[in-house]
Amino acid sequence: MTTITIDRNVSIPLRDGTLTSADIYRPAGAQRLPTLLQRTPYNKNASGGYYQVFAIRAATAGYAVVIQDVRGRYNSGGDFHPFVQEQPDGFDTCEWIVAQPWSNGRIGMFGGSYVGLTQWQAALAGAPGLEAVAPHVTASDYHDGWTYQGGAFNLYFNYSWATGLTSETAGRRRAADPATLLFAANLERVDDLNRFIVETPLDCDQTLLELGPWYAEWIGHPALDDYWDHLNVAGRYQDLDIASFNSGGWYDVFLGGTIGNYLGMKWEGGSERSRNGSRLLIGPWSHATASSGGAAGDYFPGAMGSPDAVDLQGQWLGFFDRWLRDHAAAEYDATPPVSIFVMGENRWRSETSWPLERAVTTEFFLGSGGRANTAAGDGKLLRERATGADTMPDHYLSDPRDPVPTVGGQLCCPVHWSPSGALDQKVVEGRADVLVYTTAPFEEPTEVTGPVTVILYAATSAIDTDFTAKLVDVCPCGCVRNLTDGIIRARYRTSPREAGFLTPHEVNRYEIDLWATSLLLQPGHALRLEIASSNFPRFDRNYQNGGVQATTPLAEAVVAHQTVLHDAEHPSRLVVQIVPRG
């Protein structure tokens, strides 16, 4: 049996003299080992944590494992400033590791969420010795897919993550929970918090300032600009020479980034190692269940849906064995690079590519008699373009004072307003400002696996607005459960870098990215598409007046008349990938 030694609170110096704190797990005895590094803001001493278990397992397998509190968190000195500190600090930490007598100079990194971000930032910095990363449930673009999505502020995640982070016990930090933050500001509506932060003097309310100056920075950079360019992995894969094992969940807030990192490294990686060493695994998980397994909302995938069912930690070790020890390279490289959990069938499947090469791109065209938002709505998803009465446009009013509520979905983090995952959408579909389009029930088992996109032709009376799209599974028993969704802010419809306002009542083409899903629809099930103009508080609501979202008061919001077209000249449609059975 291997004996493990654990050195607690080892000081790792950074270039500006700041001392960070780390725990080091190693097999007993003097030897030079490959090293696995985790840089976390979530407490390296988390009792019984998923990653501490992995550290012991990896040390038993012959690795040195370093788990470090990042700058400004828990036992580490300095001030925490998300994103911007992680490139230099990741470089310095790796530089320190390769100089240690127990290191052989080869480093891998592991961990999820923000801990996945610290891996990519170290890679972008060209950290010494870094050869492989295993980022779990994390993003590729920290503007689109983390802080914003489709141009809309990712309010639920940003607010809940920031308040959750500051409410943790972190040494000198005073606890602050979301309710305290709202009551301290005497706010009636949560998205007014953004305006309050921007307009409040720095010494006015210390409780609110515990969100950190970085939260105001995020609000202050709504468009893709130099602030984000320096941080984003997306668009810079050609600069990287590392292998990557990318894992995520169908209901994870970072699903798009997980897939984006896999594809970016696979096709654009800067070396043969980057391209051949890119792997993808997607389970039936939300952000919260990506380590523990369990139900994602009302959807329970069964015991086989657990990360332990596929020995995710063992797969990470096999990956590191391949790239840090060169063990069984030929055998490892011969295995399929993609592993997905097919919901509905509730089983894992290996694939040679993503998207699946055998999948057939399939379009479902919107159609209705102009009543897709009534209780007896006649909205349809058709295999052919709408004709006759089905070409009549649909109309609804978008009122920011009464936004469509968030009910499940790809959410994170603490559950303040809605659980994440699959939930019944009846309360949403009963609203007059939600359009509903449904296929006929499928007569045979039908698998939808791959990217999901909505092409929408629409007009609005406002100069700016949002359009949201949600893909839904309709059960024969009457349940209506969300699969994936997306949003586009009209001002950023053509470019994430420059806002371009609308001409009222002019028809525009919108492309809404719903990321991806994998589901086997059993006979009797149907696909449904919901179209609306808000999904609050997952995304901040658009006040539709063209003002600066973060500083415009709700009282100045504009009600917009929305028109969705689906005639011969405006073929609004849902685009999915259908996988032939057998």
Q: How far, in Å, CA of 363 to CA of 344, rounded?
A: 21
The answer as to whether 555 is a domain residue is: yes
Same domain for 212 and 261, yes or no, is: no
Unique residue bearing structure tokens 């397992």: 57
The answer as to whether 389 is a domain residue is: yes
Check pLDDT > 50 for residue 170.
no
Mapped onto helix, strand or coil, the DSSP state of residue 338 is strand
- CATH number, domain containing residue 21: 3.40.50.1820
Check pLDDT > 50 for residue 297.
yes
Same domain for 107 and 174, yes or no, is: no
Residue 507: its pLDDT value, please? 98
> Is the CB of residue 115 less than 8 Å from the CB of residue 40?
yes
Return the exposure string of 142-171: e unless at least 16 CB atoms fall within 10 Å of the residue's CB, then b.
bbbbbbbbbbbbbbbbbbbbbbbbbbeebe
Q: How far, in Å, CA of 111 to CA of 127, rounded?
A: 17
> Is the CB of residue 445 less than 8 Å from the CB of residue 523?
yes
Unique residue bearing structure tokens 């190692």: 273
* Element containing residue 473 per DSSP (H, E): strand 466-474
Mapped onto helix, strand or coil, the DSSP state of residue 44 is coil
Q: How far, in Å, CA of 460 to CA of 398, rounded?
A: 9
The CA distances from residue 348 to 125, 178, 309, 351, 448, in Å, are 35, 38, 9, 10, 15
Check pLDDT > 80 for residue 28.
yes
Same domain for 328 and 394, yes or no, is: no
Q: How far, in Å, CA of 372 to CA of 143, rounded?
A: 34
The CA distances from residue 93 to 39, 163, 181, in Å, are 9, 28, 35
| pLDDT-derived band at 492, boundaries 50, 70, 90 | very high
pLDDT in tens, 438-475: 999 999 999 999 999 999 999 999 999 999 999 999 99
Annotated catalytic residue, options 92, 143, 191, 287? 287
Closest CA to 142 of 200, 50, 217: 217
> Is the CB of residue 156 less than 8 Å from the CB of residue 405?
no
Closest CA to 70 of 135, 22, 136, 6: 22
> In residues, how long is the chain?
582
Q: How far is CA 477 from the centre of its chain?
A: 31
How much is the average pLDDT of 255-260?
98
Q: What is the mean pLDDT of the chain?
A: 91
Mapped onto helix, strand or coil, the DSSP state of residue 547 is coil
Residue 514: its pLDDT value, please? 98
Q: How far, in Å, CA of 259 to CA of 21, rounded?
A: 32
The CA distances from residue 50 to 8, 291, 292, 365, in Å, are 18, 7, 8, 45
Give the chain's domain count. 3
pLDDT in tens, 518-554: 999 999 999 999 999 999 989 999 999 999 888 888 8
> Is the CB of residue 266 less than 8 Å from the CB of residue 257?
no
Annotated catalytic residue, options 76, 113, 306, 368? 113
Same domain for 214 and 277, yes or no, is: no
* Element containing residue 480 per DSSP (H, E): strand 480-489
The CA distances from residue 395 to 353, 374, 508, in Å, are 41, 11, 15
> Is the CB of residue 253 less than 8 Å from the CB of residue 409?
no
Q: Which among 311, 342, 373 is the end of a domain?
A: 342
The answer as to whether 366 is a domain residue is: yes
- DSSP code string of 486-507: EEEEGGGSS-SSS--PPPTT--
- DSSP code string of 266-303: HHH-SSHHHHHTEEEEEEEEETTTTTT---BBTB---G
Same domain for 107 and 155, yes or no, is: no
Same domain for 335 and 483, yes or no, is: no
Annotated catalytic residue, options 89, 92, 252, 466? 252
Q: What percent of the chain has pLDDT over 90?
A: 82
Same domain for 323 and 448, yes or no, is: no
The CA distances from residue 200 to 40, 79, 204, in Å, are 30, 21, 6
Same domain for 543 and 433, yes or no, is: yes
Q: Is the dihedral of CA 564, 442, 297, 516 positive or negative?
A: negative
Check pLDDT > 80 for residue 121.
yes
Q: How far, in Å, CA of 515 to CA of 152, rounded?
A: 16
How much is the average pLDDT of 201-208?
39
Q: What percent of the chain has pLDDT over 70?
A: 91
Judge residue 14's burial from the number of C-beta atoms within 10 Å of its C-beta, 0-12 exposed, 13-18 middle, 19 or more buried. Answer: buried
- CATH number, domain containing residue 446: 2.60.120.260
Q: How far, in Å, CA of 300 to CA of 495, rounded?
A: 38
Q: What is the pTM of this model?
A: 0.94
Same domain for 469 and 557, yes or no, is: yes
Same domain for 132 and 159, yes or no, is: no
Q: How far, in Å, CA of 544 to CA of 400, rounded?
A: 8
The answer as to whether 355 is a domain residue is: no
The answer as to whether 512 is a domain residue is: yes
Q: Which among 226, 252, 286 is the end of a domain?
A: 226
In the residue annotation, 113 being an active-site residue is answered as yes
Same domain for 315 and 185, yes or no, is: no
> Is the CB of residue 111 less than 8 Å from the CB of residue 40?
yes
The answer as to whether 15 is a domain residue is: yes
Domain that holds residue 376: 360-579
| pLDDT-derived band at 49, boundaries 50, 70, 90 | confident
Same domain for 331 and 405, yes or no, is: no
The answer as to whether 144 is a domain residue is: no
The answer as to whether 316 is a domain residue is: yes
Q: Which among 286, 310, 342 is the end of a domain?
A: 342
In the residue annotation, 205 being an active-site residue is answered as no
* Element containing residue 467 per DSSP (H, E): strand 466-474
